[in-house]
Chain A
Amino acid sequence: MDTNIQIDQLAAHVGEWLRGSGPESDIVISSRIRLARNLAEFPFVRRCNDVDRAAIEKQVHSALLRTNVLRDLLYVHVDKLGDVDRQFLVERQLISRELSEGKGARSAAIDPGEKFSIMVNEEDHLRLQAVNSGLDIERTWQQINAIDDEIESQLTYAYHERLGYLTACPTNVGTGMRVSVMLHLPALVLTRQIEKVFRSLQKISLAVRGLYGEGSQAMGDFYQISNQITLGRSEEELLQEVGEVIPVLIGYERRAREYLVSQSHKDLHDKVSRAFGILSTAQTISSEETLHLLSSLRMGVNLGLISDLEIPTLNKLFIHTQPAHLQKLRGIELDTADRNIERALYLRRHLGRGDAPTEKN
């Protein structure tokens, strides 16, 4: 099938990990694990010229074709995609910004259910990732580990007896594994406790990142907690280290929510209702304001302050109101001003309840 049509089909749906049905899914959006792997016979990607990059891409692609991994997967040559499609895959968290903005031959194999994807020629030759809805680290590891085993049967990875899997950056060497759990922590932000939480996480070598991983700002009160250490601890130990701390954070967030409900119920209800009011009636709205307001709304739904609205619907709005998604859904390229109008229209359609003034055109 044509790649463009397949990407359009992805755009119309949302990934499995956003269905909001996994364990603790009111607070934990997703559990994600990525493995960094490199071929033993090529320089790392940054050191490769176009010929090397093309050779790596070809070798990995044909190795993947010899496995069952690629069955049903959408294989995309990222270097041949247009800007909007690349940005769309980034917004969807199927590829990284680095892969999108990279150079030379590079590709991504994507599960249509969006539960796993493989990036070729990102910072490392291969980046495998699996993702599940809610807090589900152990299962995510089993899935990605099985995929890694299968791919490894066809390729020779760069591996060192003492140092483990060799990666372009020494911060990933060893297991090459990054476990990250995405949390929605609006109450900890509102009660100004989030900084304290982060400082204590850093002390135990866990990293905190924004919605889109490394270098990204926290948007819409979403945070990714992940391991910083990759060498000297087994995968199971690393899973456990991240896994242990998440229930503690969930507990903090729940307590902060209870506090807000009991101490400032009116203010909270007001904040959530206003968020709903703006989102369901605005005529033009920025991506930033949307994320901010959807975050309040999401908390409001979880606390029962807003009825008739489901978490999966909200999860979908977070993703579908981003710039490239709006353009994919509309089927044309839009500048910022038009996107803001399109976003408001999309939100009114999904949140408007008849009483909201919706322009007929």
Chain B
Amino acid sequence: MKCQHCEKPATFHITELTGPDVVELHLCEDHASQYLDAGEEKKASPTLAGVLAQQLKVGQTAEELAKLDQRTCPVCGITFYEFRSAGRFGCPHDYVCFENELEPLLLNIHGKTRHLGKRPRRHAGHSQRQTELIRIRREMKEAVEKEDYELAGKLRDDIQRIEREMQRGI
């Protein structure tokens, strides 16, 4: 018997019972390993985006979900939808901004939601100022894109002032 996908002899005869119908496959070694590898990927641990999508379906209407997806971090400008699709945050402030949505996700991944362990010795006491820097830097980029150089210049001065203050430990 020939492989279903090429001219090589079929050396693997697979009976797939997982779907609604019984499917018989006759494959050569290469196509069998391709097929089996693809199956493994599907079975692999759920992706972050998958876990999120699963959680969001529970108890939320499509309308609520669409609204949530549009929520935007005021600091870095990432939308919840962007986070949900990529599984990566835009800036540290997202952890605060999307705190409620994140809680079940963290539970799912880590089983806990409270950090135990090392803390930086010089803790970011003025972390608000760092967050402010992320926001102003973004606003400056946007101003440059809009060719509003007056605003961009003002924002650049703000950035430099904050950086200087941080350096002097104010």
Q: Are A229 and B109 in contact (CB under 8 A)?
A: yes
Cα A233 to Cα B106 with chains together (Å) = 13
- A156-B124 contact, Cβ under 8 Å, with A234-B117, A235-B117: yes
- Does A5 touch B at the CB level, under 8 Å? no
Chain B positions within 8 Å of A205 at CB level: 111
Q: Are B130 and A156 in contact (CB under 8 A)?
A: yes
- Which A19-59 residues have a C-beta within 8 angstroms of B? 38-44, 46-47, 49, 51-52
**Of the candidates B87, B92, B102, B112, which one forms a contact with A40 in the assembled complex, judged by CB atoms under 8 Å apart?**
B92
Minimum C-beta distance from A240 to chain B (A)? 12
Task: Determine the residue in chain B with the shortest Cβ distance to A176.
Answer: B118
SS class, residues of chain A in contact with chain B:
loop
- Which A264-318 residues have a C-beta within 8 angstroms of B? none
- Does B138 touch A at the CB level, under 8 Å? yes
- A169-B117 contact, Cβ under 8 Å, with A40-B130, A156-B122: no
- A47-B122 contact, Cβ under 8 Å, with A175-B117, A232-B115: no
- A159-B123 contact, Cβ under 8 Å, with A44-B88, A232-B112: yes
Interface window among A160-168, A248-256, A338-346: A160-168
- Does B42 touch A at the CB level, under 8 Å? no
- A43-B138 contact, Cβ under 8 Å, with A169-B48, A174-B110: yes
Could you name 18 residue pairs across A and B whose Cβ atoms are closer than 8 Å? A40-B130, A41-B133, A41-B134, A44-B90, A46-B86, A47-B91, A145-B118, A152-B120, A156-B122, A158-B92, A164-B117, A166-B92, A168-B89, A169-B87, A170-B48, A231-B113, A232-B110, A234-B117
Chain A positions within 8 Å of B92 at CB level: 38, 40, 44, 158, 160, 166
Chain B positions within 8 Å of A335 at CB level: none
Task: Determine the residue in chain A with the shortest Cβ distance to B109.
Answer: A171
Q: Are B110 and A47 in contact (CB under 8 A)?
A: no
Chain B positions within 8 Å of A153 at CB level: 121-122
- Does B31 touch A at the CB level, under 8 Å? no
- A157-B88 contact, Cβ under 8 Å, with A41-B130, A174-B117: no
Cα A40 to Cα B45 with chains together (Å) = 31
Count of chain B residues near A, Cβ 8 A: 41
Task: Determine the residue in chain B with the shortest Cβ distance to A236.
Answer: B117
Q: Are B120 and A231 in contact (CB under 8 A)?
A: no
Cα A236 to Cα B96 with chains together (Å) = 27
Cα A175 to Cα B117 with chains together (Å) = 7
Cα A149 to Cα B166 with chains together (Å) = 20
Cα A42 to Cα B76 with chains together (Å) = 9
Cα A40 to Cα B120 with chains together (Å) = 12
Minimum C-beta distance from B100 to chain A (A)? 13
- Chain A interface bracket (under 10, 10 to 19, 20 to 34, 35 or more): 35 or more
- Which A196-240 residues have a C-beta within 8 angstroms of B? 202, 205, 228-237
Cα A244 to Cα B101 with chains together (Å) = 34
Q: Are A40 and B124 in contact (CB under 8 A)?
A: yes
Task: Determine the residue in chain B with the shortest Cβ distance to A37.
Answer: B120
**3 closest A-B pairs by CB:** A232-B112, A164-B115, A40-B130
Q: Give B43-80 as 1s and 0s: 1 = Cβ < 8 Å from A's Cβ atoms.
A: 00100100000000000000000000000000010100
Minimum C-beta distance from B30 to chain A (A)? 14
Q: Are A159 and B141 in contact (CB under 8 A)?
A: no
Cα A233 to Cα B118 with chains together (Å) = 10
- Does B127 touch A at the CB level, under 8 Å? yes
Q: Are B86 and A233 in contact (CB under 8 A)?
A: no
Chain B positions within 8 Å of A166 at CB level: 89, 92, 95
Q: Give A124-165 as 1s and 0s: 1 = Cβ < 8 Å from B's Cβ atoms.
A: 000000000000000000000100110011001111101111
